[in-house]
Amino acid sequence: MKLLKLLIVPAVLLFSVAVAAPTFAHHLSKATLTETCKSNGQICLQLTGEVAEGTDARTVVVQLFGDSSTTPLGEVQFSIPKFDSDHPEKNQVNETECFQAVTTGNFAHFNIKWVKVLDKDGKAADLVIELNDATLDSKNLPITLFRDVQPCVAAPPPTPQTPTPTASAAVTTTLAGTGGFDFRYPLVGLTVLVAGLALLLVSASRGRSSTK
């Protein structure tokens, strides 16, 4: 009987620790995770949330997979800061990361998975992300975050506009059509010469008439 009483105390302590253990887990609460597509062909993720008290710095590693492939096509990392009781504003997470645009392969869709969590020393660590509609625990990794994500298609480059011809361009075109020589100036000179000769002839005729 005495032995039973002695065992009760350690058992109660172990049970209390087991029950309290989840409260010491590192948490990102009130989290949201959204997927977007950029015009340059990149798939992006935005993670927001609040760092719960007692949480240490964590790095969330997410990878991009094509169709049913097991080889990652890209990777992004989200930084979860250590809880700071003196600076509450630092406990807010709002980070957007983008995968490199996939330019090889012909994939009909992509899958995005949370594959690991690292602590500040780069070692495997624990983290619970409490989304509005789900609770994601690093004990269950890898976790598929998004399925059947459509490829992002880069927007085509803008079509260059044809410049409107200017007056100088029109003159250049005229010169080019005549071999690069402008005949307007010789014509003006010839006209002036003819007019001068005509006046000279008229003056000479009047002089002869007056001498008679």
**pLDDT tens-place values along the chain, 212 residues long:** 554 454 454 444 444 444 444 445 799 999 999 999 998 999 999 999 999 999 999 999 999 999 888 999 999 999 999 999 999 999 999 999 999 999 888 899 999 999 999 999 999 999 999 998 899 999 999 999 999 999 988 666 667 776 665 655 554 544 445 555 555 666 667 777 777 777 777 676 766 665 55
**Residue 109 confidence (pLDDT):** 94
How far, in Å, CA of 127 to CA of 26, rounded?
Answer: 5
Domain membership of residue 2 (yes or no) is no
In this structure, are residues 99 and 149 in contact, taking their beta carbons and an 8 Å threshold? no
CB within 8 A of 65, min separation 6: which ones? 71, 72, 73, 110, 111, 112, 113
Look up the pTM and report it. 0.64
Amino acid at 2: K
Domain membership of residue 8 (yes or no) is no
Domain membership of residue 174 (yes or no) is no
Q: How many domains does the chain have?
A: 1
Q: Whose CA is closest to 108, among 134, 52, 69? A: 69
The enclosing domain of 47 has a CATH number of 2.60.40
CB within 8 A of 110, min separation 6: which ones? 43, 64, 65, 66, 67, 73, 102, 148, 149, 150, 151
Q: Which two tokens stand for residue 152?
A: 């992002």
Burial class (CB in 10 A: 0-12, 13-18, 19+), 133: exposed
Domain membership of residue 207 (yes or no) is no
Domain membership of residue 171 (yes or no) is no
State which residues form the domain around 113.
20-149
Domain membership of residue 89 (yes or no) is yes
